[in-house]
Structure 1
Amino acid sequence: MTTPVDPVVDVLEEGKRPLDSLFRPKRVAVVGATDKHGSVGRTLLKNLISNPFGGVVYPVNPKRPHVLGILAFQSIAACPGQVDLAIVVTPASTVPSVIQDCVDQKVKNAIIISAGFKEVGPEGEALELKVSEIAKKGNLRIVGPNCLGIICPSSGLNASFANLMPQKGSVAFISQSGAMITSVLDWSVSQKVGFSAVISIGSMLDMDFSSMIFYLAKDTATKSIVLYMESIGNARNFLSAARECSLTKPIIVIKGGRTDAAAKAAASHTGSLTGSDAVLDAAFKRAGVLRVDSMSDLFEMADVLSKQPLPNGNRLAILTNAGGPGVLATDALASHGGAVAELEPKTVEALNKVLPPAWSHGNPIDVLGDASARHYADSLAAVALDPNCDGFLVILTPQAMTAPTECAEALSKYAKIQGKPVLASWMGGPDVAPGAKVLNDAGIPTYAYPDMACRTFNYMHQYQTNLESNYDRIDLKVDLEAVQAGKLEAQKLIGKVRESGRSLLTEAESKLLLKAYGIPVTPCELANSPAEAAKAAEEMGFPVVLKLNSTTITHKTDVGGVVLNLHTSYAVEKAYNDMKESVSRLASPEGFEGVTVQPMIQVKGYEIILGSSLDPQLGPVLLFGTGGALVEVFQDSAVALPPLNPNLARKMLQETKLYKALLGVRGMGAVDLDQLIQIMVRFSVLILDLPEIKECDINPLIASSESILSLDARVLLHDRDVETRDLPQPSIRPYPHHYVNVIDLDDASKVKLRPILPEDEGMMRSFYARASWPEGCKPATMPNEAENEVCSLDRQHLIRTCFVDFDRSIVLVAEGHEDGEKCIMGAGRISREEMSDDVTFSLQVLPSCRKKGLGSKIMKRLIELAGLEGAACIKADVFSENRRALRFLEGHGFALGATNAGKLVPAQLQISSAPLLGRRNPSKGLANDRKPTVTGINVSS
């Protein structure tokens, strides 16, 4: 069975992609080129002309007729031919006028090398804003300012003032620090490391990490991407680009700032536990990005991931000819999450046949000090078949009876074991160097010490876990529509609190908020006198708890605001009076506003904290972990970005030590994890639905084998003077609930048309199996044929369809019933591709639904959503013989063009545009007014 691929994006002028004119320009102007020795302008021009890139270089300097013997021009306008790339090295004060010249001459890209912008203060920031406004109007894309430039060894372009031109390779390096790039280039020469691209992005006025990642994801010369990051930039764009790219190419990042630099709200338990570094870790995991700790790890991992497959688990088999290194390897492995594989009996039997009787008979596999090349090779061949082994480390120490080079040659034929990486540690100096080279040349990464190899293996497992765990499925569904039912009630409550001028909700109000989203809470009765409290207790039933009701005091226990286990009315009245006195003494009389009376929960359970706070870069952040009064002491917690789905919620649970206890321990029954996951998902929806919430803690959430209940909750809102448009946005766009609707088909049956969910993977697999893809509708052009060819359905296709990034694509599914079973009857997608305001679309329905008008109704809804998402135009290229598809498009308002040489008919539909679909960087104002592009499409009605 074959399936359709996603819409094609690369039918641009002469097959070019938008940033090709940056990385492979035909005409380059250097504005500020000069003969002055030691100047940036001279170095940059010399680099361009010393490294042939197949284009023309124009020095621009109004004060000189020639620069380095090349005819100079007064301005960009004076340059003959259309300039693709302008490199600006003039003083900051002159840059706005230079950028205006670029816009007037329709230059596509500019690299601003010049410094002196926002990094120097308000005056520089004003200059940068002016440059941004000019570039936006002219559709000019900018790298920088304050950057080193870019180098593209695959095209020969050196548009930088670096001293070295690196050799060609498959690693793309993107850095915010120009000094880091020069250091890496110097190191790369001695280490013979090659690059597909080296990019200094500077202050990221326009193009940032995401812009480059989107381009490099489809660059055939790039096999892996490494990043040196100081700030993430636009978080939503970065995560969007990284999530898409990491499915096919590894992204490895080193980020400075492990210390907690985030401002913390002292009143928030969650805020005190979610430092900026922990949140960044969570973001990188969510995007499938591997974070490393050192620059050597950065390039080491890029090299390893290009040579060896990722392990499917953390179990390593260690072969060694010395016991000590094997022990060190075991320690290094276990210290960072790895494990020594337990060999199957069959493997032990096989090793008995090829090794001397004195071998270790376990893992590490000590092949003994006199091991020959054959011993090594036969041992590796035996353990390679063991299903308990996820990877292999071969250690050799130079001993009298061991030949390092011969052993390496014997092992080299095992460099490619399906799905299992092979690493080596050839310990020693000159004697082992030739053998290490043999292994490296064969594609087996080799290390001086075994602990270094184990660190690499653990990184590989961590990266594989990041990729796979994000796309796991569990058989648990959360009814998001039911969750949304309480949204209006919650909004009214928050509106009422904000209108009163308050930002802190009382406990009673906080619990009403949770209850609206189906999160279980304990009963809570307000009382404003001892008598009222006693009466409420009598009606509720003893024992009870009294808690302070206050709109100003955050932590009740600090002022004696919680009294437990009250069994009589007298005890309740006394507790009321004692609490009032204590609050007045320790805080203020105004802080006491009565009490809440709640039942005393006597079920033995675990105290959990479930909370949310704001990260300055990534917006709302969720926290789950061990709760209670000592929450900051235990610090057993996991951090994640909303929105959560059941799988991501489970992943949060598993990252805590508490998780094992929740499964049941020491006589305590297991907690209903499905119910807990439901609560976590509902909580994440609440946080995204109500951006007015600044902080929220449920602490404790008591979980036992009998029930899960919120005993206490605290909600802090943003100040009333914070406008809705200024409220922090989530770094991952939440599920668009408002796009769910029910439609009538032509036969009077109904289907639900809604955005897709990860849980739909099973139904989508069934849908593709039942649907057919009409002849003549396959893509017109494929930017990467190996990736985009029409092929048998695989998991990656389902991931791209079901785990959709709503910031870039909207996938609608028509959910209905056939033969009494719920199924997907049709699916349609609109997608905004890189650097375009237009969208492509794809559409497919079951053959049984074509006469019911389902295809037409999905198409109309896609057009409507394209407008709501801000698309300027929907475009398609359809084979001319596919008359049915062409009639279908004409019937929906598409204008058809003339058939081209490839027998493709262009079709387009103009749409009134609003804010952009998946806008790149709205905060910087450079996302709008881009030129439309021509894109390819698959169409099936």
Structure 2
Amino acid sequence: MPDSSSVPSDTTPTSDPSYDLVGSRRQPLDAIFEPKNVAVIGASESPGSVGRTLLWNLVSNPFGGTVFPVNPKRDSVLGIEAYEGIGAVEADVDLAVIATPAPTVPGIVEQCGEAGVEGLVIVSAGFREVGEEGAALERDIKDIARTHGIRIVGPNCLGIMRPPNGLNATFAGSMANEGDVAFVSQSGALLTSILDWSFRENVGFSSFVSIGSMLDVDWGDMIEYLGDDPKTESIVLYMESIGNARSFLSAARDVAQSKPIIVIKAGRTDAAAEAAASHTGTLTGSDAVLNAAFRRSGVLRVDDINDLFYMAEVLSKQPRPEGRNLTILTNAGGPGVLATDALIGGGGELTPISEDATDAFDDILPGAWSHGNPVDILGDADPERYAESLEVAANDENSDGLLVVLTPQAMTEPTKTAEHLRPYARDNDKPILASWMGGDAVASGENILNESGLPTFAYPDTAARVFNHMWRYSYNLRALYETPSLPEDEPGLPDREAAAGIVQDTHESGRVLMTEHASKELLAAYGIPTVDSPVAETPEEAVAAAQEIGYPVVVKLHSTSITHKSDVGGVHLGLTSDADVEAAFAQVENNVAEGFDGVTVQPMIDRSDGYELIIGSSMDEQFGPVLLFGSGGQLVEVYQDRALGLPPLNRTLARRMMEQTQIYEALQGVRGREPVDLDALETLLVRFSQLVVEQPRVKEIDVNPLLARPGDDGLLALDARVVLHPYTKDDDELPTPAIRPYPRQYVGTHAMADSEEVTIRPIRPEDEPKLVTFHERLSERSVYLRYANLMKLEQRVAHDRLARICFIDYDREMALVAERPTEDGDDRIIGVGRLTQQPGRNEAEFAMLVIDEYQGEGIGTELLRRLVEVGTTEGLDRITADILQQNHAMQRVCEKLGFEVVRGDGREMVQAVKTL
């Protein structure tokens, strides 16, 4: 039985995407960005007023629709008939722009809802920024808008422009130029400044948006909409606050692979860390966490306005570099040195010129060429020498990108050289940047290069800085679709039941600080090696434990209330006798007036051949749990060699965290020392992230030091500290990870007709090879019924396509695979079902495919039944699917599961709809 739907979530539909037999597929934000009719509520004729400027901008920049002024005190505004209220407008209004005093806005929103208005831009100020009274108004507006299904940009915003359509619903002084960059700003003042700057620099925009206070439409909504917008090639953001972190990350991770997202974020303070009691909390400032979030979502952060638009241009015109090696071609030594300093200072590297490239340069360049990188092709370089040198450099397998520098010298021909380089602008798989230094003499050549798609910069150090941004962007994107699933459980690991019991014991005692002994037990439950630490409540017990362990030993304070043991004289190292242990016990007890609950006795570990690391987790107000890895020990806050990440991790993401630290180089082996087992360290970090995700009652963890030594069993947690959320906080109030982890709750089994069980579970990144085999076993008929065309096998199994299918964001879609064991012991995927949430609506579309040999055995029916359960659990309003007319089997499955199947009059598609 062929189980399929015709509009998959992982391919481009062949039919009109707006086709719907039941209702409109229009994205809700279309009412704001693509309105047919607009009302200005608060339209005015007062010179210089916001209401007058809004109306004038709308009528003087025709967008193809009608503008309706709303002002109960006037019959007309600017010669246009005015209306007493939005309900009096005879036409259907898509967008209402509100410019009235804040206290009047809730009532106006109610009237808009009753009139069927779908989108609002509230430019009015006087809301949460003025205090609780304004915040209460916002809450009222949000409740009313939710009741009527209205989407809102603002309040306290400048409005929006849509230059390709001629829509100017702002009170800015001018209309932006048309282009392919979408600019969204949280600051209206900065928006107008950028607008002025864009006229001077001839920068154009597909959308120009002041997002305001984000009462409703937030960064995630904007990114999602602009990501689907064919008029937008890149998305540029000026951000002051993140708002809904999960919405932002989810949308950014989905869009960044196809369109660059570049952000400049105001504020770099670490004030959030000041009150932290843990080492981890001290090291994780709010801005550092934001950087980690940007890396994890594929967003590129820059520090100044010029870079913001440089990167938007470069990433839309040039391919992304594979690595950080840049080859610099120059006709003068000084500019090459400037570019080198900027490149190395920003983390990039000079390409080591290969032997083949060196030989090729020797053939075409004078003997006095630099014979290294930067490649100085000398001051008398003519256009042919530039072009030939560029070709050699581009073919060098060591190179990831090229920078061509030209300084105007007596024999230089800037315009002609640009003409010779024009063919290389787009016919290349490595980015090429240019710096034509000078003024009028090089302007013509710059124009030629820019028009051909080869970005130019006035100074070579600027170009090198841009290249550094490019390779970092590529580096982050490569891990973007590694949506982390949890690793396969080893026998007995993780022991989630034991871990939950350890946490619960401390929680039920009313304490938030877990003892070191319990903390280490919690780590051990997740497979993190810990040093044996028996608890001794008397000197005799301490001596007995030391004798059992063997001297030398360490004695540490055991306390349910004291955070850092060394601060109170609670740590004694290198004890070699019973007498030493007894004395240490007495000293610890004497040093601690309150909070003494005994001591732990541990073996004295030789640290001379290892490295002290720290791993930890603390809470960020916006992003929830944040992970830390870096150099540990007593000077951890002094060195501050650390990397942050968002849980959960997989191996790739764990390695990325390690690579961001300086200690990583030492861990690979330096000065004759053996390397640490980095694979084992990856696994440990992944397990640690599992603990953080699966034990939400845990607020903070420090493992410091984590000793890392060469060889097997070289990782050992010497000390651990765990703090829980207070017992006064209910489970449903606990923070959640900003990135949704693998949804284990949807893993289950299903008995087939032959009684053999198949596993049905959410898809994982590691499933890509299995999906290749899956597609190899499909017939042409099944492929056609699934995709509404005969997509070739090489297209279906292309890595980029399967990466997007396997590395999904479980907040945005859910894919279930049916997996059956084979005779050789492997598991084979025999069916895939997918739910993809529709942009801007609380509904999802499903898609289904089962390999031919298992069709007719109920796999498709079971997958769809579970997708419906998922949709219900996730709180969706309805599930839909477009199905080919001739796919009667899929239609019967849908009807069996309670879908309404709406059949058109001879149309290619039918639609199945289930309201949940």
TM-score band by shorter chain is: over 0.9
Alpha-carbon offset, residue 635 of structure 1: 1.2
Q: Cα offset for 1:289?
A: 0.6
Distance 2:418 2:363 in 1: 22
Conserved 8 A contact 1:315-1:388? yes
SS state of the match for residue 387, structure 2?
Answer: helix
SS at match of 1:638: strand
Offset of residue 838 of structure 1: 1.8
Question: CA separation of 1:682/1:387 partners in 2, compared to 1, >3 Å: closer, same or farther?
Answer: same
C-alpha distance in structure 2 between counterparts of 1:775 and 1:532, whole Å = 71
1:91 maps to which of 101, 105, 112: 101
Task: Tell me the residue number matched to 2:785.
Answer: 777
Match among 654, 659, 662 for residue 657 of structure 1: 662
Q: Which amino acid aligns with 2:511?
A: R
* 1:872 and 2:877 matched: yes
Q: Is the 8 A contact 1:166 1:185 kept in 2?
A: yes
Range with bigger deviation, 485-494 or 440-449: 485-494
* Matching of residue 606 in structure 1 with residue 611 in structure 2: yes
Q: What is the CA-CA distance between 1:484 and the residue it aligns to? A: 7.0
- Shift in Å, 1:259: 2.4
Cα deviation digits, residues 188-236 of structure 1 (max 9, x gap): 1111111000111100000011111111111111000000000111000
For residue 549 of structure 1, what is the aligned residue in structure 2? 558
Q: CA deviation at 1:673?
A: 1.8
Q: Give the distance between the partners of 1:523 and 1:386, measured in 2 at CA.
A: 54
The counterpart of 2:283, out of the listed 263, 270, 273, is 273
Q: Which amino acid aligns with 1:592?
A: F
How many Å separate the matches in 2 of 1:72 and 1:374?
67
Quote how far apart the aligned CAs of 1:873 are.
1.7
2:463 to 438, 453, 456: 453
Q: What is the CA-CA distance between 1:791 and the residue it aligns to?
A: 4.0
Distance 2:852 2:799 in 1: 24
Name which of structure 1's ranges 665-674 and 78-87 shifts more when overlaid on structure 2.
665-674
Distance in 2 of aligned mates of 1:511 and 1:676: 17
**Amino acid paired to 1:639:** L
Q: 1:923 corresponds to which residue?
A: none
Partners of 2:752 and 2:858 within 8 A in 1: yes
Deviations 1:274-315 (A, max 9, x none): 111111111011111100010111011101111111111111
Shift of 1:633: 1.3
Separation in structure 1 between the aligned mates of residue 152 and residue 26 of structure 2, nearest angstrom: 18
Q: 1:811 offset after TM fit, Å? A: 1.2
2:821–2:827: 8 Å Cα contact kept in structure 1? yes
Question: Is 1:812 matched up with 2:816?
Answer: yes
2:761 matches 1:754: yes
Q: Residue 738 of structure 2 is aligned with which of 718, 731, 743?
A: 731
Once residues 482 and 743 of structure 2 are traced to their aligned partners in structure 1, the CA distance between those partners, rounded to angstroms, is: 21
Gaps of 5+ in 1: 584-588, 912-941
Matches within 5 A, 1:415-426: 415-426=425-436
Q: Does 1:250 align with 2:257?
A: no
Q: 1:175 to 1:3 in 2, by over 3 A?
A: closer
2:501 corresponds to 1:497: no
Q: Which amino acid aligns with 1:817?
A: P
Determine helix, strand or coil for the equivalent of 2:882.
strand
Alpha-carbon distance in structure 2 between the residues aligned to 1:498 and 1:71: 67
Q: For the Cα contact (< 8 Å) 2:8–2:846, is it kept in 1? A: no
Deviates more, 1:666-675 or 1:314-323: 666-675
Matched, 1:240 2:244: no
Q: 1:862 to 1:691 in 2, by over 3 A?
A: same
**1:472–1:647 Cα contact (<8 Å) kept:** yes
What is the 5 A alignment of 1:563-712?
A: 563-583=572-592, 589-602=593-606, 604-706=609-711, 707=713, 708-712=715-719
Is residue 613–residue 696 contact of structure 1 (8 Å, CA) maintained in 2? yes
Structure 2 Cα separation of the partners of residues 582 and 477 of structure 1: 44
Contact 2:180 2:205 in 1 (8 A): yes
Residue 806 of structure 2 corresponds to 802
Which residue is equivalent to 1:19? 29
Map Cα deviations across residues 731-767 of structure 1 (whole Å, 9 max, x no partner): 1111111211122211121222111221222222222
Q: Which residue of 1 is the match for residue 232 of structure 2? A: 222
Q: Distance in 1 between matches of 2:634 and 2:164?
A: 59
Cα distance in 1 for partners of 2:483, 2:115 equals 52
2:161 aligns to what?
151
Quick one: structure 1 residues 790 and 140, their matched pair in 2 at CA, closer, same or farther if it must change by over 3 Å? farther
Instruction: Give deviations 1:368-416, integer Å, cap 9, x for gaps.
Output: 1111111111111222211111111111111111111111111112112
- 1:35–1:67: 8 Å Cα contact kept in structure 2? yes
Q: SS in structure 2 opposite 1:446?
A: coil
Which residue of structure 2 lines up, in the alignment, with residue 560 of structure 1?
569
Aligned position for 1:137: 147
- For residues 784-835 of structure 1, give each alpha carbon's deviation from its aligned partner in whole angstroms, at most 9, with x where no partner exists: x9x9999443222212211111111111122222241322222211121112
Mapped partners of 2:252, 2:486: distance in 1: 27
Separation of aligned partners in 1, 2:375 and 2:162 = 45
Measured in 1, the distance between the counterparts of 2:735 and 2:308 equals 32
Please list every run of 5 or more consecutive structure 2 residues that lacks an aligned counterpart in the other structure.
1-5
Given that residues 532 and 603 in structure 2 are in contact (C-alpha distance below 8 angstroms), is that contact kept between their aligned partners in structure 1? yes
Indicate the residue corresponding to 1:538 in structure 2: 547
Answer yes or no: is the 8 Å Cα contact 1:776–1:881 preserved in 2: no
- What's the offset of the Cα at 1:846? 2.1
TM-aligned CA distance change 1:230 to 1:529, over 3 Å: same
Task: Find the partner of 1:53 among 59, 63, 80.
Answer: 63
Instruction: Return 483-492 or 44-53, whichever deviates more.
Output: 483-492
**What is the RMSD computed on CA atoms of the aligned residues?**
2.2
| 496-505 vs 350-359, which moves further | 350-359
Q: CA deviation at 1:483?
A: 7.4
Partner of 1:414: 424
In the aligned structure 2, how far is the partner of 1:349 from the partner of 1:609?
48
1:472: how far off? Answer: 6.4
CA contact (8 A) 1:5 1:788 kept: no
Q: CA deviation at 1:778?
A: 4.5
Mapped partners of 2:778, 2:639: distance in 1:
53
Alignment of 1:456-475 (within 5 A): 456-471=466-481
Identity across matched positions, percent:
52
Question: Is the contact made by 1:147 and 1:202 (CA closer than 8 Å) also made in structure 2?
Answer: yes
Report which stretch shifted further, 119-128 or 715-724: 715-724
Q: Distance in 2 between the 1:765 and 1:473 partners?
A: 19
> How far apart, CA to CA, are the structure 2 residues paired with 1:127 and 1:408?
59
Distance 1:15 1:136, change over 3 A: closer
Question: Once the two structures are superposed, what CA deviation does each residue of 1:398-448 show, in whole Å capped at 9, x if it has no partner?
Answer: 111111111111111211242211111111122112221121122111111
Contact 2:382 2:413 (8 Å CA) reproduced? yes
Taking structure 1 as reference, are residues 134 and 790 closer, same or farther at Cα in structure 2, changes over 3 Å only?
farther
1:15 & 1:811 partners in 2: Cα distance?
22
Q: In structure 2, what is the equivalent of residue 914 of structure 1?
A: none
Q: Specify the alignment match of 2:831 in structure 1.
A: 826
Correspondence for 1:839: 844
State how far apart, in whole Å, the 2-side matches of 1:792 and 1:743 are. 27
Distance 1:871 1:496 in 2: 37
Q: How many residues align?
A: 900
The answer to whether structure 1 residue 906 and structure 2 residue 911 are counterparts is: yes
* Residue number in structure 2 paired with 1:586: none
* Partner secondary structure for residue 357 of structure 2: helix
Question: Which of 522, 538, 543 matches 2:531?
Answer: 522
**Does the Cα contact within 8 Å between 1:813 and 1:824 map onto a contact in 2?**
yes
Aligned to 2:87, the other structure's residue is in SS state coil
Query: d(CA) in 1 for partners of 2:427 and 2:882?
Result: 42
Equivalent residue of 1:252, what SS? strand
TM-score by length of 1: 0.93
After superposition, the Cα gap between the structure-2 partners of 1:873 and 1:659, relative to the gap in structure 1 and judged at 3 Å, is same
1:478 Cα deviation after fit: 2.5
1:717 aligned partner: 724
Q: Is the 8 A contact 1:780 1:904 kept in 2?
A: no
Give yes or no for contact 2:273–2:282 (8 Å, CA) kept in 1.
Answer: no
Change in CA separation of 1:383 and 1:229 when aligned onto 2, cut-off 3 Å? same
